[in-house]
Amino acid sequence: MAELNEILGNERIKEHFITAVHHKKISHAYIMEGDKGSGKKMLAEAFSKILQCEGRETTGLVESCGKCESCIQMEHHDHPDVIWVSHEKPNVISVGEIREQIVNTVEIMPYKGPYKIYIVDEAEKMNAAAQNAILKTIEEPPEYAVIFLLTTNRGAFLDTILSRCILLATRPVPGTAVEKYLVEKCSVSKEEAEFAAGFSLGNIGKAEAIVSSEEFQDLKELTLSILRYIHEIESYEIADKVKEYKKYKNRIEDFFDIFLMWFRDIMLLKADNSVNAEAAKKKIIFKNEYAYLKKQVDKLDLEAIDYVIGKIHRARVRIKSNVNFDATLELLIVEARREF
């Protein structure tokens, strides 16, 4: 696992943690909000490692020593006083799970460390009963308890929980920093790193997943084979292409992102009134597809592009609502084609 000072970006959160340790003012409850892959888990783990480090007091440094038993246990994800709260159902964290794993155990003193740390990933999935169950612990915690609620949506929490937690929001990492990281750590080409950094919008976890996934590359190529010729594709071709997406159902969000980024690039090129084509090209994500994009720019007005982007968002919602998979994708492609 990464040390706090090795984590890319989110300097404000890292500075907050360092200051808290330095002044010995550790909050009992943190809400860490950010997109999936934005580094919430890494930040929570790295901070927990510092808090539990046995060698820190002797070094006087605000960092983990990496050598003591606690640090080694953290590296192996088996520290007895750092508990990752789990849940059985994919879409909900129940009141029973919160009671069993937090409420009923928090009064038990830490086994070895100075803190007993609970990390609740996907905390927005706690139902109202679960949130009310954890609320009392947040309101009246033992002095050694620290709770991290990791979430993609703070709006899912009760106001009473929000008011009693320190809110820390992750931020996108600058594109150049993501590119450098991918080239150095993932051994990819500058071109691949540039695309992943742009496509992920500074989400380092997502960028790393993109360059390391052959499945993503296959999905990207399939989707581009539609987008390059979407203005002239035949109805029977649409139906055939959509059938190929069945094997990518678990990555359908990536399909929508690719579709969205394509029309975002068209909008950028359309809105750029500069005569310098190279300057405009530098702004887009699909740089290798510039020739295809430019052809479509000349066929669409901004209102049509905005309409298609709206249809992409609507299709994403329909899929989440379990509307027919094939029909939703086919309708989206047909609606996009009509605007040309």
Please give the chain's pLDDT, 340 residues, in tens: 778 988 989 999 999 999 999 898 999 999 999 999 999 999 999 999 999 999 876 655 678 888 899 999 999 999 999 999 999 998 999 999 999 999 999 999 999 889 999 999 999 999 999 999 999 999 999 999 999 999 999 999 999 999 999 999 999 999 999 999 999 989 899 999 999 999 999 999 999 999 999 999 999 999 999 999 999 999 889 999 999 999 999 999 999 999 999 999 999 888 875 556 677 778 899 999 999 999 999 899 999 999 999 999 999 999 999 999 999 999 999 999 999 8
* Cross-strand bridge partners of residue 163: none
CA distance 19 to 4: 13
The pair of three-digit structure tokens given for residue 146, joined into one six-digit string: 């620290």
CA dihedral sign of residues 121, 124, 126, 131: positive
Q: Quick one: which H or E segment has residue 117?
A: strand 116-120
CA angle centred on 334, ends 213 and 195, rounded to 5°:
30
Kindly report the CATH number that applies to the domain delimited by 213-338. 1.20.272
- CATH class for the region spanning 4-169: alpha beta
Half-sphere exposure of 165 (CA within 13 A, CB side): 27
Query: For residue 99, what are the contacts with CB-CB under 8 A and spacing of at least 6?
Result: 133
| The residue type at 274 | S
Please list the alpha-helical segments (H only) found in the chain: 11-22, 40-52, 56-59, 69-75, 95-98, 128-139, 159-162, 175-186, 190-199, 204-212, 214-227, 235-244, 252-271, 277-283, 290-297, 302-320, 325-338
CB 208 within 8 A of CB 182: yes
- Which 8-state DSSP code applies to residue 300? -
